Chain A
Amino acid sequence: MSVDSLGTARPSAAPVEATQRLGLGAYIVCFRGIVWREVLRFLHQRERFLSALVRPLVWLFIFAAGFRQVLGISIIPPYESYVLYEVFVTPGLVGMIQLFNAMQSSLSMVYDRETGAMRTLLVSPFPRSYLLISKLVGGVAVSLLQVYVFLGIAYFWEIEPPLIGYVTVLPALILAGLMLGSLALFMSSVIRQLENFAGVMNFVIFPMFFASSALYPLWRVKESSPLLYEICRINPFTHAVELIRFALYGQIDWSSLAVVVGCTIVFLGAAIFAYNPSKGLIARRGGPGG
């Protein structure tokens, strides 16, 4: 596959002129190239694939087993009857897969930048925002693969949403993936070195994951701490999880949908701004690749 060379199709042409000459077909080729590269990269890294699957499964099989009795005392929408903790936590774990995947994909951006691989991508004649969005979609595609394999395994663990739920959850997954991906993309623009990334993982991934409705219903959080409840409520990750939870049962949570769409626009705008070579944060630091 000569995917890597696609982005460097016209290194000699000036970007602005080239963009004018590029037709829709070229855009599609570029888009396909970037997305396919992400997917292939993921499929070829068997360890990454395995670890991406093992993480939520460990939560499902071990953590959730220990908390089995936590729920079952209240019916919360979209569930129509009492559910075991495993069933409740599944949308949260789907969100976790997408969160980790988004972070990992932005981690690869930092890595690309450090190793200089990003330079080849950025000299392509396409608008940078287009390249970023393509990269983002690539990340989302990878997360979709992970999520569906996870849901497939979870099905045999008696987590059986209605069949239609596997279809209706797709747009929710794409939206949630875009939101988390653009957040991660923005963050990757702020991080200069790979080493700093671990800190961001601690300061972003864990608070986002734990202060959300992924692991426990919000009414439970409210019982113990009203402040934490408010924090959870404004956490965009909570809304991503709720959007997925409702969609998995063929329903739409409108307020979560609005929050996720809104956040996606804001984060993506910020990321595009940050990666803008003339105005953004990259420019201030003296360009990619260091």
Chain B
Amino acid sequence: MRQTKNVGIFAALLAGLAMMAAAATPAAAYKVFVSNEKENTVSVIDSETLAVVHTIKTGARPRGITLTKDTKWLLVCTSDDNRIEVFDSKTYEHVKNLPSGPDPELFAFHPSGNPLYIANEDDNLVTVVDIHSDKILVEIPVGVEPEGMGMSPDGKVLVNTSETTNMAHFINTETNEIFDNVLVDTRPRVAEFTADGSQVWVSSEIGGTVTVLEAATRKQLAKIKFEIQGITPDAIQPVGVRMTKDGKWAFVALGPSNRVAIVDAKTFEVVKYVLVGQRVWQLALTPDDKLLFTTNGTSNDVTVIDVNRQRAVKSIKVGRYPWGVVAAPF
């Protein structure tokens, strides 16, 4: 009865195949806002249908994008118009403009919801703005070409990275003064605190690394290097960094290598590289940490990654040169 046995094996194989369910994670519907650098627009994506539902016109060269703590306002750095534009996050209407100092690129809110800390790329400053009185409170001189802005969860420390000085500047938000500088690899782009505030992750675009610093001591805990089979090392340019709230996973956008690295945030080991669009730049997680949105600058789209499955789900066409991205909790 050899044949019956063989048939049995095949039946088992087919049954096995049938059971390999790629369980889709049902995600709640959120609005995801993407700034399109060369089109002067913001695309609004519905995270359930994964389609662009609206496009907001903005000033020149929109880059950094965020929401106020009460999520009523959407703030966009319009770099070439040297201001922050404020939109109603539900009606998409323009509310007002905030002063920002020249060439605002990225910004971070104090956890209390005000003030706003803005990196002025051309002016070597971090500008602190009160979003209700529309006034500049103070300007903090930092290194050359400031960019990344990471706020500690308790609001006491702001970390700013300067692209040319290759430093992470630790700023005391009470005194608005730098109290420590840490040298990192070339062209630091983004600084991101872990949810518990114990670590700061700094990505270095040209250095091709992510440096993990202990927030309290500013000592280096780890340096994460990336290696992708078949990709030249100079194409691996880490920029956007995001971490899940449970502290398990970190995501690093690797620029022209068209990959997002998924890093085990406990061991600092890269577990996977996910193929996305071209020149992946900034990242945003939905509030439930189930989906990750990546802005792919040169392919003009946004790739959606299923966090649990660690797979790209879909790429959505947006405007030209998508740059920044933020997900709203509604």
Contacts and interface: CB of A to CB of B under 8 A. Distances in A.
Of A1, A151, A160, A163, most buried by chain B (CB within 10 Å of CB) is A163
Nearest to A70: B230
Contacts of B278: 73
A80 interface: yes
Contacts of B314: 80-81
Interface in A2-53: 40, 43-44
Contact of A83 (B17, B230, B275, B313): B275
Given A1-B3, A80-B315, A152 B22 contact: no
Given A1-B3, A40-B3, A82-B276, A152 B17 contact: yes
Nearest to B24: A162
A228 interface: no
Interface stretch (B6-14, B100-108, B174-182, B239-247): B6-14
Contacts of A44: 2-3
Main secondary structure on A side of the interface with B: loop
A82 B17 contact: no
Contacts of A69: 230-231
A152 B312 contact: no
Nearest to B6: A43
A81 B276 contact: yes
B219 interface: no
B267 interface: no
B275 A166 contact: no
B13 A152 contact: yes
A61 to B, nearest CB: 13
Given A1-B3, A163-B20, A82 B312 contact: yes
B311 interface: yes
A148 B276 contact: no
A231 interface: no
Contacts of A73: 278, 299
A80 B258 CA distance: 16
Contacts of A148: 13-14, 17
Interface in B1-35: 2-3, 6-7, 10, 13-14, 16-18, 20-22
A72 B230 CA distance: 13
B22 A72 contact: no
Interface string A61-88: 0000000110011010000111110000
Contacts of B299: 73
Contacts of B275: 72, 81-84
Interface residues of B, number: 30
Given A68-B230, A72-B258, A148-B13, A80 B313 contact: yes
A155 interface: yes
A147 to B, nearest CB: 11
A82 B315 contact: yes
Given A68-B229, A68-B230, A82-B303, A162 B17 contact: no
Contacts of B7: 43
B188 interface: no
A54 interface: no
Contacts of B304: 81
B258 A155 contact: no
A166 B18 CA distance: 8
Contacts of B301: 75
Nearest to B17: A152
B148 interface: no
A266 B303 CA distance: 44
A145 interface: yes
Interface in A141-174: 145, 148-149, 151-152, 155, 160, 162-163, 166
Nearest to B317: A75
Interface string B103-137: 00000000000000000000000000000000000
B15 to A, nearest CB: 10
Interface string B278-314: 1000000000000000000001010110000001111
A83 B10 CA distance: 29
Contacts of A84: 275
A73 B315 CA distance: 12
Contacts of A163: 18, 20-22
25 contacts: A1-B3, A68-B229, A72-B258, A73-B278, A80-B313, A80-B314, A81-B303, A81-B313, A81-B315, A82-B275, A82-B303, A82-B312, A83-B275, A84-B275, A145-B10, A148-B14, A148-B17, A151-B17, A152-B13, A155-B17, A160-B311, A163-B18, A163-B21, A163-B22, A166-B17
Q: Shortest 4 CB-CB distances between A and B: which pairs?
A: A81-B312, A81-B315, A80-B314, A43-B6
Interface of B: 2-3, 6-7, 10, 13-14, 16-18, 20-22, 229-231, 258, 275-278, 299, 301, 303-304, 311-315
Given A43-B6, A82-B312, 18 more contacts: A44-B3, A68-B229, A69-B231, A72-B258, A75-B315, A80-B314, A80-B315, A81-B314, A81-B315, A82-B275, A84-B275, A148-B13, A148-B14, A148-B17, A149-B10, A151-B17, A160-B311, A163-B22
